[in-house]
A and B are shown apart, each in its own frame.
Chain A
Amino acid sequence: MSTAAVQKETKWWSGGRSPFNASYGKVMMWYFLMSDAFTFGAFLISYGTIRFSQNFWADPNHVFNSFPFAGHANLPLAFVSLMTFILIASSVTMVLAVHEGHNMNKKGVEKYMIMTIIGGIAFLSCQAWEWTHLLTGEHVALLSDGTLSVLPTTVKANPWGAELSHEAIAAALQATPHEQLASIASTLHHGGEAHHSVAAMSNAELIKFIQESDLKASNTGPIAFGGYFFGITGFHGFHVFSGVVINIVMYLKTKMGHFDQRGHYEMIEKAGLYWHFVDLVWVFVFLCFYLI
């Protein structure tokens, strides 16, 4: 009997069988993911609501423009593209593992699970680098007291407001005390000139030095930005982390032959659902934080 015929003739809802032709475990996994989609949905929609309520929001192309080992090169969105690619690739290896599971190929499942786990760890490492970069980042912003200062992006500070004009920067530099000027100057790379001397320079010299190096500075932006960014990418990262843990457990269970004994690799399928969901969420996080 062909599958299509069975599907048509079966009275799916009459009891004694699953109306979805799926085990309860898989049904539960799907509904859990739906539930989790509402958790993420609530986070992202909250973020959108706050963004809609603000006159100004940080431009992702300014915030996310660095790449490891690339110094101060302006590479908007490059690093996050790499992260996205890693996650898509690990999704592919996961679906291949599920595929091998359908064919009862233990070695194949093991191979692809390992690759998926590596992908997950690589993604987490990228995220760790990005967080560190933002948290220790060196962007110059105009504080409410009218002085310029080096500010990192944290949940309590957001240096990514509207960009300042040259005149505004010049005015603010006059009001900025010595230590702040020195710390601004030390973040600048200025034609190979030594930075260690900045502490010894006078205010006027510092201001000249800073202006010559074409300093870019902006207002502070709404502090909520950092909270939402770290909160949501952190919650996603937590999901990736738990996905990696689940995948490691699944790998070990495969290795020990649990699924061969059981006669099916449905657990791999369920872990796969979770892993793809993590990828799915990233697609939306990528959209909300990096693209628009």
Chain B
Amino acid sequence: MSTSAALHHEDLHSAHDAHHEHHHHETFISKYVFSQDHKMISKQFLITGIIWAIIGGLFSVLFRLQLGYPEATFPWLEDLLGHWAKGGKLNPEFYYALVTMHGTILVFFVLTAGLSGTFANFLIPLQIGARDMASPMLNMLSYWFFFLASIIMFSSLFVQTGPASGGWTIYPPLSALGDASSGSKIGMDLWLVSMAMFIVSSLLGGLNYISTILNLRTKGMSMTRMPLTVWALFFTAILGVLSFPVLLSGAILLLFDRNLGTSFFLSDIVIGGKILPNEGGSAILFQHLFWFLGHPEVYIILLPAMGMSSEILSVNSRKPIFGYMAMVGSMFAIAILAFLVWAHHMFVTGLNPFLGAFFVLLTLLIAVPSAIKVFNWLTTLWRGNIRFTPAMLFAIGFVSMFISGGLTGIFLGNSALDIHLHDTYFVIAHFHIVMGVASFFGMFAGVYHWFPKMYGRFLNNTMAYIHFWISIVGAYLIFWPMHYEGLAGMPRRYYDFSMWESFKQFGGLNEFISFVSMIVFAAQLLFVFNFFYSIFKGRKVTSTNPWGANTLEWTTPIRPGHGNWPGEIPEVHRGAYDYGKDGREFISQIEPVGENESHH
């Protein structure tokens, strides 16, 4: 039996092994640019994501400048942005473009591609015991389609009429009619084409992740022995593969409406007293299509962060994750529910209230698996032997953010309350905390935890701690006050609030938020500096398993080559969370179960 198993592995991975032996023949291009090694592709995703995050973050600082200081002028803005900031004050059109691009970039390019692209690529083969992705070729294409999408989106920033400015949700008719605003012209077309490329990239990636996890697990790595990161990435990939095509449909139809005169989303529109010939379509249909992706997208962003935080919390509490199967089950429940609740973003579109009631019910159901997860994280920490590494701090920060942001989700999921809160700063606060900041924290936790595996060096701890404390305090200082503004009715996406008597009272608060946002942005730049500095100058990793973790990636050499394991892929004998068992601090997954070992 064991001979056949060995033969089996040899067969399965002989192609990769051959590659592994000859990898010193690799040229610069095949190693760093068109690489088919999942680890290199993951770094490509990460670094592209970091660049996008800087751009997207910078945009938010620019429009916060307008919100915080609506009366002030900044001459340097004109030097930077030219005619978009005449006299040092942001043009309203450009303000909308900034808001739109901030959302698009951070939701899709950073927290989808940058997060699951990075960690699915890096962790799946390493943690399930595979030489590489199922199809390294498609994996490489996945990155390069993402790169293409990035180039197109980036170029849209420089067209004469500006980038798309209809909000990241690009609702028609604003996005369907070229004359609606300057951002609805060529910038919008580029947005749609870029998004189509992005969807292709995410599809290629997702198919690879799914079939790798299903087909290429090493011997003994049953589904219920997989680390929670892999489970999370698995569900993420399924969500992406089934929901992104719906956005693709919407984007294609919107492109037709824009360029071929079709009436998919247009009907009964009057511009300047003239009725457009379009008839029969519905703008709300686009919202349905968009949110059919849009809601799963929230979990595409959140699930990887959940998985990584679960793993990091368990490793650094030196305790098994509490309720492993409950964690898997709740992620599964979240993934299913994610597909059923999209119209809770549309309660005020005139949605049939009876239909809306179903969406309310399904939405509130999400609170159940979410609460299970939160309690399991807390019980994992309970009486643990906690090590406050930077990764651990960010993982705890993730749990904190998930709780505070998740609770306001229960408010917003009620259609009656949503009528008051819809499109106010309450919504901004909710989704930035639960989806934006929480996922960022999960991502930071992942980077701090797996950086030693990626580059063979540690990130600088002092800078990491500064980064963490400014980020968590700053994030709460920025988004907590927004709840009050939202409850008072302050609408999102307004260019200047000083014109309304009822919102003038928030002038000081807005200024404070803008001020904090700049400090937080600076702290992120510190992280970026730390990241690139540590790649070259960081403290070297000296042991293969610096965190004392059980999972398979720590059984590879410190800097694994293409193929990951120099010899045979180890066989797995136990689950990923045997911490503190029988008085031992940790027991790696590859260690056979002893005869006298206790069962718990």
Q: Which A residues lie at the B interface, using CB under 8 A? A: 11, 13-20, 22-25, 27-28, 31-32, 34-36, 38-39, 41-43, 46, 49-50, 53-54, 155-156, 158, 221-228, 231, 235
Contacts and interface: CB of A to CB of B under 8 A. Distances in A.
B218 interface: yes
A27 B215 contact: yes
B212 A46 contact: no
B222 A15 contact: yes
Given A15-B225, A231-B256, 5 more contacts: A15-B222, A19-B214, A20-B214, A39-B248, A223-B277
Contacts of A222: 263, 279-280
A28 B137 CA distance: 13
A24 B217 contact: no
A65 to B, nearest CB: 22
A46 B203 contact: no
Chain B binding site: helix, strand, loop or mixed by DSSP?
helix
A16 B248 contact: no
A227 B572 contact: no
Given A16-B218, A16-B220, A227-B256, A35 B203 contact: yes
B160 interface: no
Given A46-B285, A155-B262, A225 B223 contact: no
B498 interface: no
A228 B211 contact: no
A27 B211 contact: yes
Interface residues of B, number: 55
25 contacts: A14-B220, A16-B5, A16-B221, A19-B215, A20-B215, A23-B215, A24-B211, A24-B212, A25-B135, A35-B241, A42-B289, A43-B253, A46-B289, A155-B256, A156-B261, A156-B262, A156-B277, A158-B280, A222-B280, A224-B263, A224-B264, A224-B279, A225-B280, A227-B256, A235-B252
Chain A binding site: helix, strand, loop or mixed by DSSP?
helix
A54 to B, nearest CB: 6
Given A31-B207, A49-B285, A54 B245 contact: no
Given A16-B220, A49-B282, A155-B261, A32 B203 contact: yes
B6 to A, nearest CB: 11
A223 B256 CA distance: 14
B570 to A, nearest CB: 11
Given A14-B220, A27-B215, A156-B277, A42 B245 contact: yes
Given A54-B280, A223-B279, A36 B245 contact: yes
B456 interface: no
A42 B286 CA distance: 11
Interface string B259-299: 01111100100000000011111100100110010000000
Contact of A28 (B135, B245, B249, B263): B135
A231 to B, nearest CB: 6
B219 interface: yes
Interface of B: 5, 8-9, 128-129, 134-135, 138, 203, 206-208, 210-212, 214-223, 225, 241-246, 248-250, 252-253, 256, 260-264, 267, 277-282, 285, 288-289, 292, 572
A50 B263 CA distance: 10
Contacts of A14: 219-222
A15 B218 contact: yes
A223 B278 contact: yes
A49 B223 contact: no
A224 B261 CA distance: 10
A24 B124 CA distance: 15
Nearest 3 pairs of A and B residues by beta carbon: A222-B280, A224-B280, A16-B219
B245 A50 contact: no
Contacts of B212: 24
B573 to A, nearest CB: 11
A215 to B, nearest CB: 24
Contacts of A41: 246
A44 to B, nearest CB: 9
Contacts of B252: 231, 235
Given A39-B246, A43-B249, A46-B249, A223 B263 contact: yes
A42 B250 contact: yes
A155 B260 contact: yes
Contacts of A46: 249, 253, 264, 285, 289
A13 B219 contact: no
B211 A31 contact: yes
A32 B207 contact: yes
Contacts of B281: 50, 223-224, 227
